[in-house]
């Protein structure tokens, strides 16, 4: 099933022309309206007319998450705030989130690409779509929500959590499509079993799972346990949110909505473009977005590109499942977590040592984060309640900055192994 057949099956030549026009237009706009971009282009001696088409994209400088932080909150917006109808944000490493703004038209683009994602999964106006991604500043919940409304499906905006209720609603409302993180899907399956429910007790047909990396093995498990087709979805708030690339029923790569987001694969060390099929860092350029265009955004996600025509008939380039990251970012229950965030929280409290370690596990298919904190002389007390209070304080501070709950475990001085070089801040025990 196609949502937008002309775009999804456009010939390569025609697509290149469209991308060229849109890229040129984007560069014109950012040059005119975003001083930060203009300065970057001027520093390289570039004028908008130097970018005649998509073949010139490599002349443009990259932009990174750090630069988004440097321009916090609205520095990269290309329209006045009066035109911005929505702001989303993802957690930041230094307490400040990275902010993105959408115009009315941007929300329309987002709805369109999410409508595609849902249609690829077989959803239609006959579907009942349960959105179990979080709603709020996180883009997951609202992104799926808009796409589901656009295709005319019945939307159940449960948000994440409260699993037993989640399952009850699925059963009572006749949910046919579930959207959440893959680890939460497995947790739902687990809970269903505990409640004595079989997949046959539900009407689920498909699931759209994303916001964290997952393997083929995990896909198999979800499909077996829930008796559904499980499809991958890729997105990031910097670009638009979920819907940047979506799997079709062939489950052989995620179709990038190339008419809105131009993909490149580069060598993360040299920045050089890599040919299709070679693994490297995904770089995305928004070519239609108005509120906050991102030109050559370094996603830090490692993957491969495939521009061959898919068995489903779509010509849209496919990216492989994300194979890893080029930085130390962790994705825990769909939320981006940087070790440096933990560090700034601990140092901010003023009584803890800078020696810490993050232990990530997957228990009952849910990611858990434990932060080990060394007890220093200053923070140590002979009274249990003082230490417990400190533990609680650290936990609260972490939760508010990370947007994900972490267990805190106090350990003795020098418990955490000291390293000569880069400290081993993360032990990830998840088998994805």
**CA–CA distance, 142 with 121 (Å, rounded to integer):** 18
**Of the two residues 135 and 380, which places its CB atom closer to another protein in the complex?**
380
Q: How far apart, in whole angstroms, are the C-alpha atoms of residue 139 and residue 99?
A: 11
CB of 216 to another protein, least distance (A): 37
Nearest-approach distance from CB 406 to another protein, in angstroms: 13
We find the least distance from the C-beta atom of residue 384 to another protein, in angstroms, to be: 5
In angstroms, the Cα distances linking 68 to 3, 100, 169, 268, 335 are 33, 9, 39, 19, 18
Q: CB nearer to another protein: give 49 or 388.
A: 388
Q: By C-beta, is 344 or 370 nearer to another protein?
A: 370
108: number of Cβ within 10 Å = 13
- Considering beta carbons, is residue 208 or 416 the nearer one to another protein? 416
Tell me whether residue 42 or residue 376 sits nearer to another protein (CB atom).
376
CB of 377 to another protein, least distance (A): 6
Give the integer Cα–Cα distance in Å for 160 and 163: 8
Phi, psi for 84 (deg, rounded to 5): -85, 125
Shortest Å distance, C-beta 378 to another protein: 10
Query: Nearest approach, Cβ of 194 to another protein (angstroms)?
Result: 24
Nearer CB in complex with another protein: 308/429: 429
CA–CA dist 169, 302 (Å, integer): 37
Q: Which is nearer to another protein, 80 or 412 (CB)?
A: 412
Between residues 153 and 375, which has the closer beta carbon with respect to another protein?
375
Q: Are 356 and 376 in contact (CB under 8 A)?
A: no
366: number of Cβ within 10 Å: 16
70 vs 330: CA distance, rounded Å: 21
Q: Nearest distance from residue 380's CB to another protein, in Å?
A: 4
Nearer to another protein, 46 or 410 (CB): 410
Among 258, 248, 231, which residue's Cα sits nearest to residue 311?
248
Give Cβ neighbours of residue 71 (< 8 Å, ≥ 6 apart).
Answer: 36
Min separation Cβ 414 and another protein, Å: 4
- Work out whether the CA dihedral 382, 385, 388, 392 comes out positive or negative: negative
Nearest of 113, 115, 231, 245 to residue 182 by alpha carbon: 231
Confirm if 33 and 78 have CB atoms less than 8 A apart: yes
Cβ atoms of 426 and 382 closer than 8 Å? no
Omega of the bond leading into 73 within 30 degrees of 0 (cis): yes
Question: Which residues in this chain contact another protein in the complex, by CB under 8 A?
Answer: 375-377, 380-384, 387-388, 391, 409-415
Closest distance of CB 280 from another protein, Å: 42
CB-CB contact of 92 with 69 (8 Å): yes
Block residue for tokens 């200053």: 378
């Amino acid at each position: 099933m196609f949502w937008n057949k002309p775009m999804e099956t456009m010939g390569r030549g025609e697509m290149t022309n469209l991308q060229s026009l849109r890229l040129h237009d984007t560069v014109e706009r950012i040059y005119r309206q975003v001083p930060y971009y203009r300065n970057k282009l001027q520093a390289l001696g570039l004028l908008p007319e130097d970018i005649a088409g998509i073949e010139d994209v490599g002349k443009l400088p990259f932009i990174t998450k750090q630069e988004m932080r440097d321009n916090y909150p609205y520095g990269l917006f290309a329209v006045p705030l009066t035109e911005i109808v929505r702001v989303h944000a993802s957690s930041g490493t230094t307490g400040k989130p990275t902010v993105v703004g959408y115009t009315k038209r941007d929300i329309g683009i987002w709805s369109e690409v999410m409508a595609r994602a849902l249609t690829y999964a077989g959803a239609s106006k006959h579907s009942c779509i349960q959105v179990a991604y979080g709603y709020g500043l996180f883009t997951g919940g609202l992104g799926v929500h808009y796409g589901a409304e656009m295709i005319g499906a019945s939307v159940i905006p449960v948000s994440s959590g409260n699993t037993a209720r989640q399952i009850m609603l699925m059963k009572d409302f006749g949910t046919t499509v579930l959207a959440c993180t893959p680890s939460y899907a497995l947790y739902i399956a687990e809970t269903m079993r505990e409640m004595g429910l079989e997949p046959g007790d539900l009407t689920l047909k498909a699931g759209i799972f994303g916001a964290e990396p997952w393997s083929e093995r995990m896909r198999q498990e979800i499909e077996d346990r829930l008796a559904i087709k499980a499809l991958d979805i890729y997105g990031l708030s910097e670009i638009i949110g979920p819907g940047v690339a979506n799997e079709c029923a062939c489950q052989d790569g995620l179709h990038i909505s190339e008419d809105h987001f131009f993909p490149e694969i580069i060598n993360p060390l040299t920045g050089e473009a890599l040919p299709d099929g070679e693994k490297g860092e995904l770089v995305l350029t928004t070519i239609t977005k108005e509120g906050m265009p991102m030109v050559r955004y370094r996603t830090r996600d490692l993957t491969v590109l495939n521009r061959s025509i898919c068995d489903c008939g779509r010509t849209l380039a496919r990216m492989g499942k994300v194979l890893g990251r080029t930085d130390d970012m962790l994705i825990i229950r769909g939320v981006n977590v940087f070790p440096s965030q933990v560090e700034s929280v601990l140092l901010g409290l003023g009584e803890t040592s800078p020696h810490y370690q993050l232990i990530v596990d997957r228990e009952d298919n849910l990611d858990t984060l434990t932060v080990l904190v060394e007890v220093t002389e200053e923070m140590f007390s002979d009274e249990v309640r003082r230490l417990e209070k400190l533990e609680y304080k650290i936990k609260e501070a972490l939760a508010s900055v990370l947007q994900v709950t972490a267990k805190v475990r106090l350990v003795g001085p020098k418990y955490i192994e000291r390293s000569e070089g880069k400290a081993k801040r993360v032990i990830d025990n998840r088998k994805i």
